[in-house]
Amino acid sequence: GAGVSQSPSNKVTEKGKDVELRCDPISGHTALYWYRQRLGQGLEFLIYFQGNSAPDKSGLPSDRFSAERTGESVSTLTIQRTQQEDSAVYLCASSLAAGVSGDTQYFGPGTRLTVL
């Protein structure tokens, strides 16, 4: 159906709380990615999933960050014990298949996280 969706669109939380961000990829897309975009900066890769393979977690900034994906559908990004430095827009993207050079990634609208 429609494009990549993410929820919530905005999240304000207090320092030290845990948050969960959700991503619904485009149906049929086997690859799913999470990125972080801090204010005025470029996109920072966090993690990607490809089918049933082990995810590439090389971009996760600390062990407070984790992500899961159920099969080839929904993914959740969890940030534990949030810090003010975690404030950013978290973007999810999906594509037909990873490892295919030139395969286009389709981005969701993002979740704006503000940690007070």
Partner 1 sequence: GDSVTQMEGPVTLSEEAFLTINCTYTATGYPSLFWYVQYPGEGLQLLLKATKADDKGSNKGFEATYRKETTSFHLEKGSVQVSDSAVYFCALTGGYQKVTFGTGTKLQVIP
Identity of the residue, 53 or 83, whose beta carbon is nearer to partner 1 in the bound complex: 53
CA pseudo-torsion sign 46, 110, 24, 115: positive
How many residues interact with partner 1 (rule CB under 8 A)? 27
* Strand 19-24 with 5-7, pairing: antiparallel
From the CA atom positions of the chain, what is the Rg in Å?
13
Judged by CB under 8 A, the chain residues 46 through 105 that form the site for partner 1 are 48, 50, 56, 59, 91, 93, 95, 98-105
Identity of the residue, 14 or 39, whose beta carbon is nearer to partner 1 in the bound complex: 39
Identity of the residue, 25 or 108, whose beta carbon is nearer to partner 1 in the bound complex: 108
Asked if residue 115 binds partner 1 (CB under 8 A), the reply is: no
Identified binder of partner 1 from the candidate list 7, 20, 43, 112, rule CB under 8 A: 43
**Cβ-based neighbours of 5, under 8 Å, separated by 6 or more:** 23, 24, 108, 109
Which residues make beta-bridge pairs with 91? Answer: 35
